[in-house]
């Protein structure tokens, strides 16, 4: 849910425009006004560009805490970690009436007690202008 909220609220989100000012992390100019975390190198915390991306919640690894419980045998707190991925597609290409409209599917996968689980949320967003 946090990633959906971030996708809905991060600005500027204007795919039809380009940035005139250099990106504070990468220094790139002339890129589309689509938010992307260039500060954390291999572990981005958000990336709203088209494609499939793994996301980090802390910028230092791919582990996303899904569930935390206390082991009854030794009173140790155990954390079940998962992997969070995001697939962003432009709906403009398939439906011209939806210009500058993007869809994001956020998927968390994890294993708990030798069973694999997958949970997905989907959101759409249009340009801010």
Q: Show me where the domains of the chain are located.
A: 2-126
Q: What is the pLDDT of residues 29-68, one digit of tens each?
A: 778 888 888 787 788 888 888 899 999 888 888 999 998 8
Verify cis geometry, omega within 30 degrees of 0, for the bond prior to 12: yes
Tell me the C-alpha to C-alpha distance, in Å, between residue 26 and each of 19, 21, 34, 35, 54: 13, 11, 14, 12, 19
CA distance 87 to 14: 18
Statement: residue 80 has pLDDT above 80: yes
Q: Look at residue 30 in the predicted model and tell me its pLDDT.
A: 79
């Amino acid at each position: 849910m946090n990633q959906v909220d971030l996708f809905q609220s991060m600005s500027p989100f204007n795919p039809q425009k380009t940035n005139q000012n250099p990106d504070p992390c990468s220094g790139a100019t002339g890129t589309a006004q689509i938010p992307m975390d260039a500060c954390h190198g291999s572990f981005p915390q958000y990336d709203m560009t088209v494609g499939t991306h793994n996301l980090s919640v802390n910028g230092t690894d791919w582990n996303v805490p899904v569930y935390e419980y206390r082991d009854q045998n030794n009173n140790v707190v155990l954390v079940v970690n998962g992997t969070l991925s995001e697939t962003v597609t432009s709906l403009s290409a398939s439906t011209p009436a939806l210009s500058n409209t993007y869809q994001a599917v956020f998927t968390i996968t994890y294993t708990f007690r030798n069973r694999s689980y997958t949970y997905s949320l989907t959101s759409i967003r249009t340009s801010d202008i």
